[in-house]
Chains A and B, each alone.
Chain A
Amino acid sequence: MSPLSQLRMEMRENRRSSARGLWRGAPRKLGTPQFLLSAVLLVVLAVFVIVPVGTIAVDTFVWQAGDVRLSREAQPGALTLFHWQRVFRSPLTGHLLTTPLVNSILVGVGTAALSLALGGLLAWFVVRTDMPFRRVAGALAVVPYMIPSYTLALAWLTLFKNQRIGGTAGLFQYLTGVAPPDWVAYGFFPTVIVLALHYYPFVFLLISNALASVDTSLEESAEVLGAPRSLVLRRITLPVILPAVLSGTILTFSRAIGAFGTPYFLGSPVRFFTLPTMIYSNIGMRFPSTANILVLVLIVLSTILIFVSQKMVGVRRSFVTISGKGFRHKPVELGRWKYPALAITGSVILFAAVLPFIMFFWQSVMEYAGTYSFSNFTSAFWLAPAGTRLTEGEPGLLRNPEVLRAAWNSVRLSATAALVAAVLGSLIGYVVVKGRGTVISKAIEQVSFLPYLIPSIAFGAIYLNVFIRPWGPIPALYGTFLLLVLTCAFRNLPFAARSGVSTMIQVSGELEEAAQTLGAGWFYRFRRVVFPLTIRGMIVGFSLVFMTTMRELSLIILLVTPQTRTLTTMTMRYQEQGFVQFANAITVVLVVMSVIGVWAIRKLGGQSGGS
């Protein structure tokens, strides 16, 4: 370094340090619409997320009414550490905590890896290659997510069940005469497969959305420079879609460790417990405090996960891939890999969506469950008038006013909750991205993700506890449709918020600033610039929440009343009463309605999303 440049460096240092004292007392951005919006969102999140979670946390330190069964020292209402000791330092720790915790993590890792592989591959095929039937594949690839995951587990049982849990054996044994071993039929292996088949569409949507917004000229420019395709993929494409990949992985992982239905049906026969099924079993046995502690463990687990992932994503966040400059897409030519690609895509969709659907339908037209022959056919469960003997007096599904009302409730609930979540999610995305680096932005992002860490069944229980009585200005909400909407909207807010954030990141800040310098006030530019540019992401958020809510069971099972009953809760009722055919028929209706709903959303979105 020459003496001169050294000198200049010193001069610069001097100037900096002397200038630093001036920064204090500078004006703040208080009062801007963005700040006000952040404040409002924070309050909303506090009321519907932080307070309910805080309430259960506090409850774990208090003797509950039912605890007299556990200990003679119990004095309902008084403070105690008993519940924590029971879970963490007692002979029961292994059974209550350690084993389920390890199982949950294993299931989470397996599911995330498999979903990422399936979803990423399919997204790339559909968005960026010249694979035949791309559009159809793109539409069908998300179907598995519309089928309730527990029914996919039931379908697995129908196929592979052996006689361990009694009753008739599955189709596999019916056809081959060979009984599937336990590890195929129950426990870890089927749980991971079923969950991955159920959750990969999520990764698929996120990644295909990101891939569709990547400026292909980035890749083309690298190819022009002579980089081999694998290098381009690794160095250009992957880094740009990495935020979507990471969000997808995190969401799948936390969803899988929080999943209830699938590990419940597939795990119980071999006493394979995960944290959520352990929570459910404790709620069932009326040990709410133990359940709440396990809920908190799950929350802590996922918090660590997010902290780590944010450290990783945070740096890469700043990729701005939609700029004001337009760009075009050029598909990758697969050549002789065209048909293998189609075969992979086809079989994933076949196993995750088509086969289960056929099985449900088939089972809904069987006079006697488990007998797969044509003579066993009946349409009674669909069409019979009231009073038919075979159906024990229940009218066929399509003539049953209760089913129609439940269907209407499902649609109404899903649409309203999805709308609330999508709007909130977009606003959250906006303030988080615009206020990047500020404390309030970080707080909003973290809190909006919190519901994700709470298993559905526990989230439902928490809302039931908190909103059964009037709370501040909020009246008692139990039994109202509004409570269902709030539960589903806030439980699914993380989907919508993540989608909102990743969309907003893609919309370069200058696009809004350009409108601002032209005199557009906040509402005007939000309506004319930000909103139209992010509507695609909002529709993604909406459809995610809509689909989730359509097939939601464990979240609302504690909250529905006969007036607010949905299709899923009716399925549960029929299953409990042993009407397997009715249960399957309703599942068929549910899937058909979801598919139509999503198709309609896409149609609408395709039009308003324009250009």
Chain B
Amino acid sequence: MGLVDLRCVAKAFGPVVAVDRVSLSIEKGEFVALLGPSGCGKTTTLRMIAGLEVPDDGEIHLAGRRVFSAQERIVVPPQRRNVGMVFQSYALWPHMTVFENVAFGLRVQRKPRSVIRSEVRTVLAYMQLEDLERRYPHELSGGQQQRVALARMIVARPAVFLMDEPLSNLDAKLRTEMRAELKRLHRDLTATTVYVTHDQLEALTLASRIVVMKDGTIQQDAAPSTLYERPANLFVAEFVGSYPVNLIEGRLAVEHGRACFVHPEVVVPTEGPPSATGEELMLAIRPEDVVLVPGEVPPPAGEGGCLTATVKAVFPAGRESTAHVDVGGRTWTVVFGKGIAIEVGDRVNLFLPSARILLYRRDTGELVRERSAGP
């Protein structure tokens, strides 16, 4: 059993199903990111772990203790769950100084004054806030307020850190800085962390595991690299990645004794044995996996399919430029290096390596054929 364990947890607000039977197990020391578009139920999930929201159904275990069970009507209130939470708004108390804000958790625990003072000072020093302890929250910058919110959580030594988009109110530079800070925090304290964000870069750089959510359900729960390499369904494939994923519709057919993805303009042999032929499929490929073949150069060696496309727009950007091309009425993004010069209106050849394509069933959106491990 994990340190945090959600079993079939569900929550509806009136007619809106915010979280729909989510199961999730988080081991000690993991840094798990809940990633998903706005309104997908990330915050609600986090708040249910904290106890701030009472689920309608399911069970929640924290550190081996059952803190919620719908069946047995167990609801442990937040103050007895030993979790720490950082809110998106920081929720610093405006009537308390930085020191008092941070000391709150220890005062609740009725620690002796001297202990409180030294522990708060230690944490404030760790968060580089030692000169600000007498200030009030409105006298601090956004980044400093964020640090105070973190310090306030850390000092109480919770079993789990819960963070709800903690960096969303910061500017880009501060965000990068605080990301490093959070990384350091997690390394130093090896605290189990559940981190809500809709910024995939944050999730990919910070988390050891990412849970992608949509409409209250978990779409995929995997390591960042797996998530990127093998999105479990079309939604994840489209949601994750710095460029939008390239898509094209086709079907599975047998050609020359091989199972192939077939589209009027391109045929790509697939790896592995043919399954149900005739199946309606969606091919997805990451822009950086599409090989742009200029002019008459023969396609690269290896299995794959070739197709011709018209260039619609070019975005030169130094070492790695991108272009939009038209493929069967869909706009694809392709990435190409310095050596290649193309212009709008050019016809270019695209090579889709069999090893890099992802095939999804069009009816369910699920991945049907995982590509084999890299070349």
Residues of A at the B interface (CB closer than 8 Å) are 4, 7-8, 11-12, 15-16, 19-20, 22-23, 25-27, 29, 32, 322-328, 508, 510-511, 513-521, 524, 528-529, 532-533, 610-611
Contact = CB atoms under 8 A, between A and B. Distances in A.
Contacts of A529: 93
Given A324-B94, A519-B109, 11 more contacts: A15-B215, A25-B70, A324-B93, A508-B91, A511-B93, A513-B50, A513-B52, A516-B77, A517-B158, A519-B156, A521-B79
A518 B156 contact: yes
Nearest to B84: A517
A16 B87 contact: no
Contacts, number: 146
B21 A326 contact: no
* A11, A508, A516, A533: most-surrounded residue (chain B CB, <10 A): A516
A22 B10 contact: yes
A214 B215 CA distance: 34
Contacts of B73: 27
Nearest to A525: B79
Nearest to B74: A27
A324 B57 contact: no
A511 B138 CA distance: 15
Contacts of B362: 4, 7
Interface in B226-282: 234-235, 282
Contact of B78 (A11, A324, A508, A516): A516
B365 to A, nearest CB: 7
A508 B137 CA distance: 15
B56 A23 contact: yes
B311 interface: no
19 contacts: A11-B365, A15-B20, A19-B12, A324-B137, A325-B89, A325-B145, A327-B138, A508-B89, A508-B91, A513-B78, A513-B87, A514-B87, A515-B93, A517-B52, A517-B83, A518-B153, A520-B79, A528-B104, A529-B93
Contacts of A19: 10, 12, 17, 20-21
Interface residues of B, number: 60
Interface in B94-136: 94-95, 104-105, 108-109, 136
Interface of B: 10, 12, 17, 20-21, 50-52, 54-57, 70, 73-75, 77-85, 87, 89-95, 104-105, 108-109, 136-140, 142, 145, 149, 152-153, 156, 158, 162, 169, 215, 217, 234-235, 282, 362-365
Given A22-B21, A515-B104, A533 B95 contact: yes
Contacts of A517: 50-52, 78-79, 81, 83-85, 158, 162
Given A327-B138, A533-B93, A610-B95, A524 B108 contact: yes
A11 B139 CA distance: 49
* B51, B104, B364: most-surrounded residue (chain A CB, <10 A): B104
A325 B138 contact: yes
Contacts of A611: 94-95, 136
A444 B235 CA distance: 46
A520 B215 contact: no
A169 B234 CA distance: 89
Contacts of B363: 7
Given A27-B70, A519-B82, A326 B91 contact: no
A324 B87 contact: yes
B71 to A, nearest CB: 9
Given A22-B56, A513-B52, A519 B105 contact: yes
Nearest to A27: B73
B365 A7 contact: yes
Contact of A26 (B55, B80, B109): B55
* B79, B109, B169: most-surrounded residue (chain A CB, <10 A): B79
8 nearest interchain CB pairs? Answer: A326-B138, A324-B91, A518-B105, A510-B91, A514-B91, A26-B56, A517-B85, A516-B78
A476 to B, nearest CB: 43
A518 B103 CA distance: 10
Contacts of B282: 4
B156 A22 contact: no
Contacts of A324: 87, 89-94, 137, 145, 149
Given A22-B56, A25-B70, A513-B85, A518 B104 contact: yes
Nearest to B73: A27
A323 B142 CA distance: 13
A26 B91 contact: no
Given A4-B362, A510-B87, A511-B91, A20 B104 contact: no
Contacts of B85: 513-514, 517
Given A12-B215, A27-B73, A520 B108 contact: yes
Contacts of B91: 323-324, 508, 510-511, 513-514
A160 B217 CA distance: 74
Nearest to A24: B56
Contact of B234 (A4, A513, A521, A610): A4
Contacts of B108: 515, 518-520, 524
A29 B54 CA distance: 8
B89 A510 contact: yes
Nearest to B8: A22
Contacts of B364: 11
A532 B57 CA distance: 36
Contacts of B80: 519
B329 to A, nearest CB: 11
Given A23-B57, A26-B56, A533-B94, A516 B79 contact: yes
Given A326-B137, A327-B138, A517-B50, A16 B93 contact: no
B99 to A, nearest CB: 14
A397 B82 CA distance: 65
